Amino acid sequence: MKRLLIVLPALLLLAACGSDKEPVEPVRPVLSTVVQPQVQAQLGRFAGSIQARFESTLGFRVSGRIARRWLDVGAQVKPGDILATLDPTDQQNQLRVAEGDLAKVQAQWINAQADARRQQQLYDRGVGAQAQLDIAQTNLKTTGASLEQARSALSQARDQLGYSTLRSDHAAVVTAWQAEAGQTVSAGQAVVTLARPDVKEAVIDLPTNLAEQLTKDLTFTVALQLEPSISTTATLRELEPQADATTRTRRARLTLASTPDTFHLGTSVSVTLSAAVTPRSELPRTALLERDGKTQVWVVDPQQKTVATRDVTLLERDAEHIVLASGVQPGERVVTAGVNILKPGQQVTFDEDAR
């Protein structure tokens, strides 16, 4: 009985000592992400289109009524292809008049030559007067000048008839018509617009405040709106000096680094602007731990499967993301959910373990 009384207090003492140990923290599953360095800052995304760098608006070189349009918008043309024709009646009449004038002057030229030869022969035999010879030679020269003038008028009349047919002078695509068949147009009036498909560029409209901040180190990424995986980079070629009076935007034309086959004329594209910045890291807003006036994140030790707080320098934040200037390194894993219930040194499991 005495032994029992001695052993019982000892057991109670051991139980009391065991109750002083801290409870073991449970292993918590967490969501996490790997830090990726960011060296480009996104300045905005804008809708644009693919257009030809070289466009030309053609018109007839003579006035008249359009008799026929030979092609529709979207048609591809080769050098020399007919685009439209005028009613050639006026030009044909002018050509006939020029041909008649030339025939008349040629007859006068033949008579003037014969008269000049006759007067020369008479003068050489001593029976002709010098005055008559001078008159014949002067008449010959005058008629010769009239003959050259008539020939030039005929050539011009033929050109005028040729100008009644509007032709393409280079390979192109018809992008717009400014006149219809039956319409009377004047010389030089815009009739059709052609675009050269061999050199394409992206065209976007930028807000005035952003356009004024464009620098040479800006990078433009041009992607198809319907297939964003098809993309290329571009550089700024031209920026309109004045803003549009209605939209208050300035048009920018971008030279493409490469031209994918799907970048057809008129294709809608999405253009993203980015600029080189000092290295930084972007994380979800839920990764931020603000406590005791400090901005911290939980960094996971991949070997020990434990977490520890790390002070970070916050550059900016919004409703969904934070941007850090320092405090974490590329490749480190940071907890992105449940940051307020973790403790330093606590073991965790993360999504990589689940995979």
pLDDT value for 5: 44
List every span in the chain annotated with CATH 1.10.287.
89-163
pLDDT of 51 reads 92
* Residues 307, 31: Cα–Cα separation, whole Å: 12
Q: What does the pLDDT look like over 168-189, one tens digit per residue?
A: 988 999 999 999 999 999 999 9
Query: Would the pLDDT of 15 be above 60?
Result: no
CATH no. of 43-53+198-279:
2.40.30.170
- Encode pLDDT of 59-72 as tens digits: 999 999 999 999 99
CA distance linking residue 80 with residue 331, whole number of Å: 62
H-state helical runs in 62-88: none
**Looking at 71-217, which runs of residues are DSSP E strands?**
76-77, 82-86, 165-167, 172-177, 184-185, 192-195, 200-207
Closest CA relative to residue 206, chosen from 255, 265, 277, 272: 272
Residue 43 structure tokens: 């300045």
Share of the chain above pLDDT 70, in %: 89
Residue 115 phi, psi (nearest 5): -65, -40
For residue 245, is pLDDT > 70?
yes
Length of the chain: 355
Euclidean distance between the first and the last CA atom of the chain, given in angstroms as a whole number: 61
Give residue 124's pLDDT. Answer: 86
Instruction: Check residue 159 and give its pLDDT.
Output: 93
pLDDT at position 164 is 94
Mean pLDDT, residues 272-284: 78
What confidence tier does 1 reach under pLDDT thresholds 50, 70, 90?
very low
Query: Is the model's pLDDT at 9 over the cut of 80?
Result: no
If you classify domain 25-37+280-354 with CATH, what class do you get?
Answer: mainly beta
What type of residue is 302?
Answer: P
Mean pLDDT of the chain: 86
Region(s) of the chain under CATH 2.40.420.20? 25-37+280-354
User: Looking at residue 39, what is its pLDDT?
Assistant: 63
pLDDT of residue 2: 43
Where does the chain hold its CATH 2.40.50.100 domain(s)? 60-86+165-195
| Cα dihedral across residues 2, 8, 10, 11: positive or negative | positive
User: Binning pLDDT at 50, 70 and 90, where does residue 340 land?
Assistant: confident
> Which is more confidently placed, 11 or 285?
285
Q: Return the structure tokens found at 31.
A: 């969501």
89-163: CATH topology is Helix Hairpins (1.10.287)
Quickly tell me which residue has 């409703």 as its tokens.
319
76 has pLDDT over 50: yes
Instruction: Please give the CATH architecture assigned to the domain spanning 60-86+165-195.
Output: Beta Barrel (2.40)
pLDDT in tens, 204-218: 999 888 888 777 667
Report the pLDDT value the prediction gives residue 23, as an integer from 0 to 100.
Answer: 59
* β-strand partners of 309: 298
